[in-house]
Amino acid sequence: MRTATDAAAVTAELATVPAHERVALVDPRFIGHVHALRLALTDPRFPAAAVRGALSVQAEARTALVRAVTAAERTGTTAPTGSAAQSRSVAVAETTATDGTATAHSRVDDLAAALDAEGVAVHRPELGVLVADVPADAEAQAAARDAVAAVDDERVRLRSAVKARDGFFTTFCISPYSRYIARWCARRGLTPNQVTTASLLTALIAAACAATGTRPGFVSAGVLLVASFVLDCTDGQLARYSLQYSTLGAWLDATFDRAKEYAYYAGLALGAARGGDDVWALALGAMVLQTCRHVVDFAFNEANHDATGNTSPTAALSGRLDSVGWTVWVRRMIVLPIGERWAMIAVLTAFTTPRITFYVLLIGCALAACYTTAGRVLRSLTRRAERTDRAARALAELADSGPPAELVAKAAPRKASSYLAPLSAALGAAAVLAGTAAAGFGSWVPVGCAVLYAVLAGVAVAAPLKGPLDWLVPPLFRAAEYGTILILAAYAEMNGALPAAFGLVAAVAYHHYDTVYRIRGGTGAPPRRLVRAIGGHEGRTVVVTAAAALLHDQNQGFTIALTALAAVIALAVLIESIRFWVSSGAPAVHDETGEPA
Please say which residue of 361, 386, 411 terminates a domain. 386
**Do 382 and 407 belong together in one domain?**
no
The answer on pLDDT for 363 being more than 60 is: yes
Residue span of the structural domain in which 222 resides:
171-277+308-386
Clarify whether residues 230 and 362 are in a common domain: yes
**What rounded mean pLDDT belongs to the chain?**
79
Domain co-membership, 353 together with 265:
yes
The pTM of this model reads 0.77
Task: Give me the pLDDT at residue 313, please.
Answer: 60
| Within a domain: 286 | no
- Residues 44, 187 share a domain: no
CA 296 – CA 372 distance, rounded (Å)? 9
Instruction: Report, as an integer, the average pLDDT of 77-84.
Output: 37
Asked if 549 and 484 count as a contact pair (C-beta separation under 8 A), the reply is no
Distance (Å, whole) CA 25 – CA 34: 6
Same domain, 62 and 176: no
Mean pLDDT, rounded, for 554-559: 89
**Is residue 372 domain-shared with residue 409, that is, in the same domain?**
no
Are 372 and 425 members of one domain?
no
Q: Are 583 and 438 contained in the same domain? A: yes
Q: Name the residue with higher pLDDT: 317 or 129.
A: 129
Residue 122 confidence (pLDDT): 59
How many domains does the chain divide into? 3
Q: Is 164 a domain residue? A: no
* Gap between the Cα atoms of 593 and 255, Å rounded: 19
Q: Are residues 142 and 249 in the same domain?
A: no
Which backbone phi and psi does 386 adopt, to 5 degrees? -105, 120
pLDDT tens profile 508-548: 999 999 999 888 877 788 999 999 999 999 999 999 999 99
**DSSP state letter for 92:** E
Of 302, 305, 263, the residue nearest 286 (C-alpha): 263
Residue 125, pLDDT score:
58
Q: Note whether residue 159 is domain-resident.
A: no
406 with 381, same domain: the answer is: no
pLDDT for the residue numbered 134: 67
| Tens digits of residue pLDDT in 110-147 | 556 665 665 555 556 566 677 767 677 888 888 888 88
Q: What is the pLDDT of residue 304?
A: 83
Closest C-alpha among 259, 226, 263 to residue 350: 226
> Residues 118, 241: one domain?
no
Rg for the chain (alpha carbons), in Å? 26
Report the CATH number at residue 350: 1.20.120.1760
Q: What angle do CA 117, 120, 126 make, to 5 degrees?
A: 105
Do residues 417 and 529 both lie within one domain?
yes
φ/ψ of residue 343, rounded to 5: -65, -45
